[in-house]
Structure 1
Amino acid sequence: MPPTARKLAAGPCTRAAVLAAVLLLTGCSGDGTGDLPGGQEAKNATDVPDGGVAAPGGLPALRVETVLDGLDHPWDVAQAPDGTLLVDERGGGLTAVLPDGTARELDADLGDLFADGETGLMGLTLDPAFADNRRLYTCQGVEEDGGAEIQVVAWTVDDGWTRATRVADPLVGDIPVNERTGRHGGCRVRFAPDGALLVGTGDNAVGSNPQDRATLAGKVLRVDAVTGGPAPGNPFADDPDPVTRLLLSYGHRNVQGIAVRPGTGDVFTVEQGTDRDDEVNRSVPSGNYGYDPDGDDGGYDESVPMTDLDLPGAVPAVWSSGDPTIATSGADFVSGAGWGGYHGVLLVGVQKDTGLLALRLDDAGQLVEQFRVPELEDAYGRIRTPLLGTDGALYVTTDNGGDDLLLRVTPAG
């Protein structure tokens, strides 16, 4: 079935072009300035002076433009070296936006997709050597053999951005899924600077999963992107269980974001919490991130802390929301001189009190300051993913359902 062209955004405040050479110099900007919700006492994080909710002075104004509209729950976005953007949708579908602004849906076999609740076609990333091997990776729910699971699948895409073909199907399998509701499916994929593929998974709302190192649910995996096996240097490399050998860390609830800090190799993960804590964590090999909702009756006790510091070796969070939570999701670091005061800041998608959360961290990865990005505050609804593109612009997917957007955010100066 040949790919079809998706309707590009049109109208006075929505432009289809992608690259700076094509973009118009005017665009739409949100003007919300809402504060972070209450509960600023970060239970497992550094206290932030004065609440840290208002954007500090000296930040550049931001221009927000619509690259693509008409999407339905877009989950992730990637940008190729030639400037082409690739976005996926949770219910199925891959759409490329070419450097000239042309958008087209790729012909891709997603006939076995398990899409229910929070699970479907989720994380997406391109191989670091994409210019040479045209290889990309998705993390998705899959129906097979009368059941379902989550898999990491490797694909190649043709030079014309018309077709994606599975080449490792799966690269990583047997990631559990909640077949009844699709709850807590994860699933973010990103590359570490050393070439290992990182995979953040959800615990499927099963209480025993986060602390059980014999399951891939509620974990961060570190895998070889060619073989799907354990990446060299994994912390549990000598464990007799082949599942455990894939793990970088455990004790997670629902890892929805992975971000690598430029120039350091430090990995930070983002988790959606219960009613008491969302979290940002600094990744530590073999770290236990302290979620243990396995109730006495074998149920799923969501009243427990996101990080139980009474557990041996529990790693405290870098940032946590307190009560109420804000439903954090994807994240990326902003870098580049043009970003001014945003340079080096970690931006996190927010899905309850909608917008982008900005976290400034010190060299040791400790929280210094938090604030909200004014131009996106309550302006575009739920934000699933921010991604710093290869062209230095920030690309953002909304997740409202029905008529979602792919946005391009740049300093206005």
Structure 2
Amino acid sequence: MALLLVACSADPAPATADPVPEGTTSLAVEVVADGLDNPWDVVEAPDGTLLVDERAGGFTAVLPDGTVREVRADLDDLFVDGETGLMGLALDPAFEGNRRLYSCQGDRAGSIQVVAWTVAPDWSSLTRVADPLVGGLPLNETSGRHGGCRLEFAPEGALLIGTGDTASGDVSQDPDSLGGKVLRADPATGEVEVWTLGHRNVQGLAVRPGGTQVFSVEHGPDRDDEVNLLREGANYGWDPDGGGSYDESVPMTDPDIPGAVPAVWSSGSPTLATSGATFLDGAAWGDYDGVLVIGLLKAQGVLALRLDDAGEVVEQFLVPELDGTYGRIRSLRSGADGALYVTTDNGDDQDRLLRITPAG
């Protein structure tokens, strides 16, 4: 197994690692759009159009011919502060018929919510059709800290929602709170249930191709980031309730919680600030086929995890073409065209949407 190391400083250097495994496929990186400001997520429609959102508000479409255009949308009620704003996106599996899009976003009324939209045929605008589809996700109105919020469709059609604990000590272990959880929602009705609990700040959800395994990726405190293999009803052990305070010195998976499920991967200290994740799939990816790739914010790159059939990590390495080259990496999505799409998160209108493909 390649060993992962990372520098720790106020302005962290890019992560380093042992050499990438011999024979690993080389990758080509193309800039699809630039001049973006903290883009949070990207989705690809069946016609090849890419849609990107920015945390401070706004949608941008990249049409199949390369045209980049603003997409109008009513975001007047958007709450933006710290880590919260316009966040995760998901396209409905039946998008070709219903043109339905889902976003997770802060709301000025004091919560985080999932909104359903319909997309205009020419990608000029979005119109709210379920406002909200899912409401009542907790929000830290003081700082916007730990707002989550990743969206992904499960294989059987449920909309998965990864939420944050709002930096409140009692939220993650409270079964009546929707924070610090992975939720399952009916995309038609918005009916929601708590699927897993004991999470800190879910930044990535990835469904393994060809099966039912779902993995979450979480920001940890200074001692650990985590990747977890999810199962219904499981508790992943984050419990920072220090008698009314938010105690970030505790482990990400508290061994004192009965049945707490250990992570399949932990960063150790220092952390990497793990974010969005997806699986690469297809023979064209060569040695990357089947690998889970994870965006790194603080460590400024992409971590690759090779898993066995049970979901245990057997190898880890940093993707060399993205190691420190483009700054902070927020989201990764496997496109319908087989490419990997990546958003950077550096701010000041310096961000890019990247398209990654096997070279040659």
One fold, TM greater than 0.5? yes
Cα deviation for residue 53 of structure 1 reads 4.1
Query: 1:4-403 alignment to 2 at 5 Å?
Result: 36-37=5-6, 53-144=18-109, 148-230=110-192, 246-296=193-243, 298-402=244-348, 403=350
Q: Distance in 1 between matches of 2:195 and 2:7?
A: 33
Post-superposition Cα deviations, 1:77-131, rounded to whole Å, max 9, x if no partner, equal 0000010000000000011110000111111000100010000000001000000
Q: Distance in 1 between matches of 2:60 and 2:177?
A: 33
- Counterpart of 1:31 in structure 2 is none
Q: Distance in 2 between matches of 1:279 and 1:388?
A: 21
Q: Distance in 1 between matches of 2:240 and 2:105?
A: 25
Cα deviation for residue 54 of structure 1 reads 2.9
Amino acid at match of 2:130: A
User: Which consecutive unaligned segments of at least 5 residues does structure 1 have?
Assistant: 1-33, 40-50, 231-245
SS in 2 for 1:209: coil
Amino acid at match of 2:257: L
* Cα-Cα RMSD: 1.4
Name the CA shift for 1:38/1:91 in 2 (closer, same or farther; >3 Å).
closer
Q: Distance in 1 between matches of 2:288 and 2:5?
A: 18
Q: Distance in 1 between matches of 2:122 and 2:17?
A: 46
Note if contact 1:73-1:400 (Cα within 8 Å) is conserved in structure 2. Answer: yes
Note if contact 2:138-2:179 (Cα within 8 Å) is conserved in structure 1. Answer: yes
Cα deviation for residue 36 of structure 1 reads 3.0
Amino acid at match of 2:263: A
Q: Distance in 2 between matches of 1:228 and 1:55?
A: 44
Q: Distance in 2 between matches of 1:328 and 1:379?
A: 17
SS in 2 for 1:390: coil
With normalisation by structure 1, the TM-score equals 0.83
Post-superposition Cα deviations, 1:331-390, rounded to whole Å, max 9, x if no partner, equal 000011110000000000001111000000000001101000000000000000111100
Post-superposition Cα deviations, 1:265-310, rounded to whole Å, max 9, x if no partner, equal 21000000000000000011001000000002x0000000000122
Post-superposition Cα deviations, 1:11-69, rounded to whole Å, max 9, x if no partner, equal xxxxxxxxxxxxxxxxxxxxxxx953279xxxxxxxxxxx9743101111111110000
SS in 2 for 1:340: helix
Post-superposition Cα deviations, 1:238-275, rounded to whole Å, max 9, x if no partner, equal xxxxxxxx100000000000000000121000000000
Note if contact 2:253-2:260 (Cα within 8 Å) is conserved in structure 1. Answer: yes
Note if contact 1:53-1:370 (Cα within 8 Å) is conserved in structure 2. Answer: no
Residue 411 in 1 paired to residue 353 in 2? no
Note if contact 2:150-2:204 (Cα within 8 Å) is conserved in structure 1. Answer: yes
- Counterpart of 2:11 in structure 1 is none
Note if contact 2:4-2:17 (Cα within 8 Å) is conserved in structure 1. Answer: no
Name the CA shift for 1:53/1:285 in 2 (closer, same or farther; >3 Å).
farther
User: Larger Cα Rg: Structure 1 or Structure 2?
Assistant: 1
Post-superposition Cα deviations, 1:103-160, rounded to whole Å, max 9, x if no partner, equal 111110001000100000000010000000000100000112xxx2100000000110
SS in 2 for 1:108: coil
| Count, aligned residues | 350
Cα deviation for residue 225 of structure 1 reads 0.4
Structure having the larger proportion of residues in strand: 2
With normalisation by structure 2, the TM-score equals 0.95
Post-superposition Cα deviations, 1:200-251, rounded to whole Å, max 9, x if no partner, equal 0000000000000111010000010010103xxxxxxxxxxxxxxx100000
